[in-house]
Chains A and B, each alone.
Chain A
């Protein structure tokens, strides 16, 4: 081995310096978003980091702006958009769990013809351009009365949540030795009791993590509510765009809305950190 102290220590210091530089790049926009959301309107156009912090922007998007001219921006609907995002993301995950968990189990445990094709068809939803499905749905939904409804949106969000849940759960089911099931089968348990009482508890942590990740993706989705929704189903992602594209741009309001809608994401992601890699890679990397 070469001399350890000198060159190695220099390499370590340099490595840490590069890491810190990268993380400044990665975290700066988030910190800045937080700062600007606390800036009062008067100080918005100064780029100084020293200012008089205020919660006015949060108050304005949550409860309306008391100082606004009558009718202009006084009416704030952000809480409703937030609720829409919550309903749609939760609804999509619940539907995906009901539909996807059994499918993941079948794909993991049974050998049947066309199994891999079926699995890859589900996966291909994840990679296909959404517009191929969304544009015809825009026509179909108007005919069926599903346009701008929760049910219509939850249905189409299955494109986001279902492939994820099926593939991640399949990999968790495959991790469980079939011996456990075989033993239970010999004891005379029917397959659905084995599934419900033995397998499901074993995959529960993975299941919860996959569901939360699916929730994050459904919450983040933008093109679905943009094309297939209108005033009834506006989500925070669509609404956030409105703060900047209106005649007058409300930069600090947008920042406050961005902070509020990002906090759940960051908290959820941190809580499932151990399972995140497997989820993000659709079960391909076991992390």
Chain B
């Protein structure tokens, strides 16, 4: 923009910061509570005890969290939910993307409807599923019975609760994966695929050696978004069971909410949220490096 050798005057150098100033103010407005949050986790702050915010307790909240009887289970359910949903959405999304990316009238008609489950509010989509799973007015059990299968208790039973919320997440966000991957497939040059076909390469050979490697940036983007979002998923689990039955679906996020807001033990609840933040931060550092590369490569096509 400016000449290389001469150092531009201060007024020019600070211009980008001035232009970004309003957004920086918002940034500060968000970072301030964030810093407060970290401070609170070292105190005994309870909402119903005024003054307890000044009661410094060191690492006690963290110690109590990791020695809590439900901590291991909570860790398991947080990761089980995130990995299951991301894995299924990635594979199903890839299948749907490849099926949509064909010369087919059916694909053409259906494509615009792909986005419907994704743009409805997650809470509302979940409530619709909850009613479908409901024993008296629900439709899913009658459908199971019609093909000779027994009724399920869905999210009300500990055995099927995780399956039920994963099902809703998959319904809601597979379209996201399919959409991103369709865009990836459409961006491919024709030549290598033409060459593979002329050489008589099998479908699987082309898929493994051409499609998958070229799709890698797009697959990464899907994983970044879905993994980060499902690690902190609140809406679907809360609308479905509020974390129950019992503690079946008490992920870190749900535990943080229940402890801080419902039980008013703010400091202890925040400890779970901060732990989740650390996990997301570490995985995002790793994934965002991938993404930076992915973005440049995706833009290069």
B interface residues, tally (CB under 8 Å): 101
A-B contact pairs, 30 of them (CB 8 A): A29-B117, A45-B137, A99-B23, A102-B19, A102-B22, A107-B20, A124-B281, A128-B277, A128-B280, A128-B281, A129-B280, A131-B260, A133-B37, A135-B40, A136-B36, A136-B270, A158-B26, A162-B26, A219-B121, A220-B122, A237-B124, A241-B123, A254-B127, A255-B128, A258-B120, A262-B120, A265-B120, A266-B120, A277-B179, A285-B183
Also in contact, A47 and B27, with CB within 8 A (given A36-B131, A265-B119)? no
Tell me, in angstroms, the Cα distance from A47 to B273 when the chains sit together.
42
- Whether A106 pairs with B20 at a CB distance below 8 angstroms is yes
Q: Which residues of A contact B (CB under 8 A)?
A: 1-2, 12, 15-16, 18-20, 22-23, 25-27, 29-30, 32-33, 36, 44-45, 47, 98-100, 102-103, 105-107, 109-112, 115, 118, 120-125, 127-133, 135-140, 155, 158-159, 162, 166, 178, 191, 216, 219-220, 222-223, 227, 236-238, 240-241, 243-244, 251, 254-255, 258, 261-262, 265-266, 268-270, 273, 276-277, 280-281, 284-287
Q: B246: shortest Cβ distance to chain A, in Å?
A: 18
Among B19, B47, B100, contact of A105 (Cβ-Cβ < 8 Å): B19
Tell me, in angstroms, the Cα distance from A255 to B270 when the chains sit together.
35
Q: A54: shortest Cβ distance to chain B, in Å?
A: 16
Tell me, in angstroms, the Cα distance from A268 to B124 when the chains sit together.
17
**Which chain A residue has the least Cβ–Cβ distance from B279?**
A129
Q: B143: shortest Cβ distance to chain A, in Å?
A: 9
**Which chain A residue has the least Cβ–Cβ distance from B198?**
A1
Q: Which residues of B are found within 8 Å of A110, using beta-carbon distances?
A: 1, 15-16, 19
Q: Which residues of B are found within 8 Å of A131, using beta-carbon distances?
A: 232, 234, 253, 256-257, 260, 269-270, 273, 276
Tell me, in angstroms, the Cα distance from A44 to B121 when the chains sit together.
24
Complex interface residues of chain B between 73 and 117 (CB less than 8 A to chain A)? 92, 95-96, 99-100, 102, 104, 106-107, 110, 112-117
Does B29 have its Cβ within 8 Å of any Cβ on chain A?
yes
Binds A, one of B147-155, B156-164, B293-301: B293-301
Tell me, in angstroms, the Cα distance from A72 to B229 when the chains sit together.
39
Q: Which residues of B are found within 8 Å of A30, using beta-carbon distances?
A: 116-117, 120, 128
Q: Which residues of B are found within 8 Å of A2, using beta-carbon distances?
A: 200
